[in-house]
Amino acid sequence: FRLALIPQAIALCFFFHALQISGVRLFTAIQEENNSPPEDFLHGSAKRILTSLKSNSIEATTFGQESSSQDEAYTAGYYTSSRGPEASYYGLHATMDVYGHELKHGQWSSTTFWVSHYGDSNKSSYNEIQVGWHIRPERYGDSHPHFYTLWTRDGFETGCYNMDCPGFVRVNDAVIAPGDAIHPVSHVPGPIQNITLRVLKDKTSGDWWVYYGFNNIPTGVGYFPKSIFSYLAQKANVMSFGGFVKSTKALPTPPMGSGAFPNGGKGRAASFTDLRFINQDGNSSPITGNLTPLVTDGKCHSITPIDHARCFYGGPGGCVR
């Protein structure tokens, strides 16, 4: 029974991800337009899945693709196949293309790392760090891609985007701050602009450091102190990466990645390259496979198999369910 629930439970992390822009109060530090109570966070099958899992099950939350009856959310990504109390992850590294799209309020497109720990399988113990780029007109007032961070230690009851609350600590000489726009962007056809991201747990301090490089080797831009987390203070037990798009039901879903399907290949489709896991000692190794894909609807957005630490992903949007 629990094995049958795993793929749906894995969908819950993107569910929580989608909730962050659904217009409800997600963080004590940020009040959105509608201060709905936490009970409204779970909807439909997602609520049934979460409550059906055993209290000692660690398959409680990883990706999530539902937010509310008024939202459409699609994902195309990978998550680590080894997960559970014994799973241990300490860092993730990749280079990714950055694109710009003209989006409307109510649309959101992102390319993201998710560094997570399920906790004790209850929503209130879920720890997560997100790092990536996203286009979100409602937040920034524009359709530019922005570098962003996000954290929570309790299933999004607290925590925040960027530096909206105490949490992420930016270093003085950082080349970018969370929330800053990224430019120039890639064009199809045309020059490809890349950012390289690395999130790793420092062996000495235990803090989670974020590195960023624009068409260059990444340098440290800041860190999440170990002290703000519970379970992530020790390690992550799931790591994920991919694309995520969302829209209200009144609008079509926006493009993911470059807006091209992944079979477009280099120069057209968005990509992750130089994918690497980082171990507890800070050493990295290429990701060549043994990850589990999660694709909401391959007719809308998809992702290719990982080959030589690289994969392509994305889709044109315009999907409705």
Torsion of the alpha carbons at 48, 253, 112 and 85, rounded to the nearest 10: 10
CB 295 within 8 A of CB 240: no
Ranking 128-132, 149-153, 288-292, 307-311 by mean pLDDT, the lowest is 288-292
112 within domain boundaries: yes
248 within domain boundaries: yes
252 within domain boundaries: yes
SS (H, E, C) 96-123: EECECCCCCCCEEEEEEEEEEECCCCCH
Non-local CB neighbours of 263 within 8 Å, separated by 6+ positions = 269, 304, 312
Q: Is the dihedral of CA 31, 251, 70, 2 positive or negative?
A: negative
Looking at residue 209, its pLDDT comes to 98
pLDDT category of residue 73 using cuts at 50, 70 and 90? confident
> Kind of pairing, strands 270-278 and 284-286?
antiparallel
Ranking 5-19, 28-42, 190-204, 271-285 by mean pLDDT, the lowest is 28-42
Tens digits of residue pLDDT in 102-126: 999 999 999 999 999 999 888 999 9
202 within domain boundaries: yes
- Which residue in this structure is represented by tokens 């217009």? 23
Non-local CB neighbours of 41 within 8 Å, separated by 6+ positions = 16, 19, 24, 26, 123, 156
Burial class (CB in 10 A: 0-12, 13-18, 19+), 37: exposed
C-alpha angle 18-19-23 in degrees, rounded to nearest 5: 120
Give mean pLDDT, residues 307-313: 96
- How far is residue 9's CA from residue 56's CA, in Å, rounded to a whole number? 14
Percent of the chain scored above 70 by pLDDT? 77
CB 224 within 8 A of CB 202: no
Looking at residue 22, its pLDDT comes to 39
Indicate if the pLDDT at residue 249 is higher than 90.
Answer: no
CB 236 within 8 A of CB 117: yes
Supply the mean pLDDT for the chain. Answer: 81
Indicate if the pLDDT at residue 233 is higher than 50.
Answer: yes
Ranking 40-44, 200-204, 266-270 by mean pLDDT, the lowest is 40-44
Ranking 44-48, 155-159, 172-176, 248-252 by mean pLDDT, the lowest is 44-48
Structure tokens at 154: 């309790």
Q: Which amino acid is located at 132 in the chain?
A: G
Q: Which domain holds residue 219?
A: 71-315
Q: What is the CATH number of the domain that holds 140?
A: 2.60.120
| Residue from 71, 22, 11 nearest 47 by CA | 11
pLDDT category of residue 317 using cuts at 50, 70 and 90? confident
- How far is residue 321's CA from residue 319's CA, in Å, rounded to a whole number? 7
Looking at residue 271, its pLDDT comes to 96
- How far is residue 177's CA from residue 171's CA, in Å, rounded to a whole number? 9
Number of domains observed in the structure of the chain: 1
Looking at residue 189, its pLDDT comes to 84
pLDDT category of residue 18 using cuts at 50, 70 and 90? very low
Indicate if the pLDDT at residue 58 is higher than 50.
Answer: no
Q: Which amino acid is located at 260 in the chain?
A: A
CB 318 within 8 A of CB 297: no
Looking at residue 151, its pLDDT comes to 97
- Which residue in this structure is represented by tokens 């609520």? 47
Indicate if the pLDDT at residue 36 is higher than 70.
Answer: no
165 within domain boundaries: yes
For the chain, report the end-to-end CA distance as a whole number of angstroms.
Answer: 27
Ranking 60-69, 234-243, 284-293 by mean pLDDT, the lowest is 60-69
Ranking 66-75, 281-290, 292-301 by mean pLDDT, the lowest is 66-75
DSSP 194-209: EEEEEEEE-TTT--EE
Cβ atoms within 10 Å, residue 44: 11
102 within domain boundaries: yes
219 within domain boundaries: yes
Residue that wins the pLDDT comparison between 313 and 18: 313
CB 305 within 8 A of CB 287: no
Looking at residue 250, its pLDDT comes to 82
CB 83 within 8 A of CB 59: yes
45 within domain boundaries: no
Residue that wins the pLDDT comparison between 220 and 73: 220
